[in-house]
Structures are given as structure tokens and as C-alpha cells.
Amino acid sequence: MREVRRTIGDLRGVRLAATAWPAVAGDLARLAAAVERGDDVAARGALVPISQATFEGKVRGRLAAADQPAALVVGTKPTSALPIVGGVSALILVGIGYLLGGWVVAGLTAVFALFIFGVALAGTRTTKDRIDQRRAKGLAPTMEPTERAPTVVTDAIGRIERGLGS
């Protein structure tokens, strides 16, 4: 029953859509009854949808940055100078384009320069700002509100753990 312990331990910490918790609570009730009866086959059958919900919650948490910036993403420092630097770089590109090929090349580099300016402008909003905004709204990457396990679910988890003797 190691799988049961691991899955319900993971389920405690995940955030799921509010609409998913009632189904999880029903599956946990089936699992608790199977554990109390000592029916390993029924316990494994009841564990499948719980494992799927737990996996979904873990993935949602990772995609939503799990209340912290991702380990490999370096957040940018908010600075108002970034759009100015992007604008100056864009003007230099347009000037070089004009010197190399006249107004036709200058027009093409202006399009590219607008892209650079847009990237610089977007860089003023940091990763942390985006995470804080998403967290304030309580949204997952799918824009669906998520919540921690309700009391009914945590009580069912405790009942299962007592049945397993942990």
C-alpha cells in the first residue's frame, strides 16, 4: 500500500479546480472503504482516479510556478530605462538601414526595430509581477480558479492514513 501513502501524501499539497474536489472526495471514500476492508484490488482501482487528479494538480502547480518563480527562469529587474534603450537601439537600426540601402532598407529595419522596442517594453513587466498577478486572481494556467483540499478531503485522507496504520 506504499502507492496509497505516496498518492494521498501528494494529494494534500496540490491545488485543484474547485469543481474537481467533489469527485476526488467520492474516490477517497471508495479508497477508505477498500482500505478498511483490506481489499487491495478495490484499493488499487479506487486509487487510479485519485492518482490522475494528484498528477493534474502537480502539473498545474508547476505551470503556475508553484507560488515561486521557476528555478531556471531568471526574472528581469523592473526598470523604466528598458524602453528607452530599446527605442534608441531601434533608431540606430533604422539609421544603419538607411545608410546601407536607402529608404527601402530603412523601412524594413524599422519593422524589426519596432519588434525590438516591443520586446524592451514587455521586459519591464517581470516574471514575479506576472506570478503575483496570477496568484492574486487565484488562477491556474488554464484561467480556472484552484483551491487547496477542502476539509472533507483532508478528513478522508486522515481516515485512510489511520486505516493504513501510519
Is the pLDDT reported for residue 165 higher than 70? yes
In this predicted model, which residue has the larger pLDDT, 64 or 18? 18
Q: Which grid coordinates belong to 79?
A: 526598470
Is the pLDDT reported for residue 124 higher than 70? no
- Would you say 60 and 19 are in contact if contact means Cβ atoms under 8 Å apart? no
Distance CA 90, CA 112 (A): 8
Is the pLDDT reported for residue 79 higher than 60? no
- Would you say 7 and 53 are in contact if contact means Cβ atoms under 8 Å apart? no
Q: pLDDT tens for residues 106-120?
A: 888 888 888 877 777
Domain boundaries, the chain: 2-68+147-164
Per-residue confidence (pLDDT) for residue 66, from 0 to 100: 46
> Cα-flanking dihedrals φ and ψ of residue 145, to 5°?
-60, 140
In this predicted model, which residue has the larger pLDDT, 82 or 6? 6
